[in-house]
Amino acid sequence: MLKQDVAQAVIAEALKTGGDFAEIFLEDRQSNNLSMLSGKVESVNSRRLHGAGVRVFSGFQGVYVYTNDTSLNGLMDCARRAASAIRGKEYYTAKDLVWSDTPSIHFIQEMPETVKAARKVAKMKEAQAVLKEEAEIVQGSISYMDSVQRVWIANSEGLFTHDTRVYTRFMVAAIASNGTENQTGGISPGAMQGFEIFDTKIDPAACAREAAEQACTMLHAPLCPAGVMPVVIDNGFGGVIFHEACGHSLEATSVAVGNSEMCGKLGQKVAADCVTAIDDGTIPNEWGSLNIDDEGTPTTKLVLIENGILRNYMIDKLNARRMNMPITGSGRRQGYMFAPTSRMRNTYIAAGNDDNDEIIATMGDGLYAKKMGGGSVEPTTGKFNFAVSEGYLVKDGKIVNPVRGASLIGRGSEILMKIDRVGKDMQMAQGMCGSLSGSIPTNVGQPMIRVSELTVGGR
């Protein structure tokens, strides 16, 4: 843990060369990872991560130094190294630290650290038993992960607080083969919960069935035709399109330095009237939620786009200075080895008023993207390219057959304007998002949406 007198001394040391803000972030994390391949436990790993980082601001300049030596001497040396890069014209005195309790919105019933490995392996075996029943599944990979992260944050504005984050995730990947060709299917639910997640959110057998069904379906699917056509993107993981193609363009990480297509567009129309997009860190027990961000700011529910109008950016402390705008509780980092910056939490397109059956029935000929895979995006331009991991061809408003090898190609700002239907059932899916401050848990989500015209890559 971080003692108050130690934090006060470290912050004072960090300000000695003229910095106008100083912060210390201390982390202690215990994580466990188990993996099983074709019914055999391949690995059982436990890891402890412990260290701290000191950050100093001078105007728009930020310096970050980290260490795994959290003794008083180690932290003071870290502060001196950070301060050595700052040459301010004035000298600032830190405010006295005032302890602030962080109320938790995440109820944890069974801490992972109290659960024996045998119980975790038993859940994996439940999934493996289902995969073994499927004749076309030649290999199954199952993983279990849990993590308990405890953080202490103090800064020169007088903040001194602590938070505990508990994560559990279960991943199933299945490979189907016909002897000459392989196709994969996968699912990876998770939440900010303890082992009780298997009573409330995750059914290992159901996860295995879904992964196997996707792999087998794609094994027998013909190649997708290419062209420009209407595309319906299903709920849950379909939200990765907004996350990647538009969400990153709304982070101050890009906006503050002019590297976003959304720069200077607050109050302007950037999407169709039916589109409202939200980044919400306040949903209890969700994968991307927080009590406080990694700068100690209480998390928020932030409306990014409201009925097509851009309302907010996601802003961290340093970029708030650069943009002259308030912080939004969006400062996040992978761990103590990273300085925080603006990042997404649970980012989703809000539910609309359209019926799912009607959305497909009135689309004519096109593609129904049930599940999305990986892809790439350029935040400066918003151009993206995403794989469709499970897709279906639609003819005259009817789903006719599965297709494989499809990809969606476009630009974030253009796809937002071409959304003409938004369904009523919003769902979320879990993922890990990488950026300047490392890899962090984020949720993506949306109801079923329809894009009136989008380039589909295929054969």
Mean pLDDT estimate for the chain: 95
Cα separation, 124 vs 105, in Å, equals 29
The answer to whether 112 touches 168, Cβ cutoff 8 Å, is yes
The H-or-E segment that residue 40 falls in is: strand 40-58
- pTM for this structure? 0.94
Nearest CA to 415 among 376, 451, 380? Answer: 451
Lowest-confidence range among 86-100, 105-119, 145-159, 344-358?
Answer: 86-100
For residue range 76-114, what is the model confidence (pLDDT) as tens digits? 999 999 999 998 878 899 999 999 988 999 999 999 999
Q: How open is the CA angle 141-285-99, to the nearest 5 degrees?
A: 125
**Does residue 375 surpass a pLDDT of 80?**
no
Nearest CA to 40 among 145, 137, 124? Answer: 124
Cα dihedral sign, 32-33-36-42: negative
Cα separation, 162 vs 360, in Å, equals 48
Domains delineated in the chain: 4-219 (3.30.2290.10), 227-457 (no CATH)
The H-or-E segment that residue 414 falls in is: helix 412-417
Q: What are phi and psi of 314, to 5 degrees?
A: -90, 120
Tokens matching residue 20: 């106008």
Provide the pLDDT for residue 91. 86
For residue range 40-78, what is the model confidence (pLDDT) as tens digits? 999 999 999 999 999 999 999 999 999 999 999 999 999
Cα dihedral sign, 325-430-434-249: negative
Tokens matching residue 169: 């995730």
**Does residue 378 surpass a pLDDT of 90?**
no
Question: What burial letters (b/e) apply to 419-437, b meaning 16+ CB within 10 Å?
Answer: bbbbbeebbbbbbebebeb
Nearest CA to 292 among 279, 284, 281, 283? Answer: 281
**CA-CA distances (angstroms) from residue 178 to 130, 174, 182, 210, 219?**
19, 14, 7, 19, 8
Provide the pLDDT for residue 183. 94
140 Cβ partners below 8 Å, 6+ apart? 36, 37, 38, 39, 127, 128, 131, 132, 172, 173, 174, 175, 208, 211, 212
**Does residue 444 surpass a pLDDT of 90?**
yes
For residue range 227-253, what is the model confidence (pLDDT) as tens digits? 999 999 999 878 888 998 899 999 999
Q: How far is CA 135 from the centre of its chain?
A: 35
3-state secondary structure 190-234: EECCCCCHHHHCCCHHHHHHHHHHHHHHHHCCCECCCEEEEEEEC
Cα separation, 187 vs 172, in Å, equals 6
Nearest CA to 127 among 167, 168, 174? Answer: 174
Q: What are phi and psi of 360, to 5 degrees?
A: -80, -40
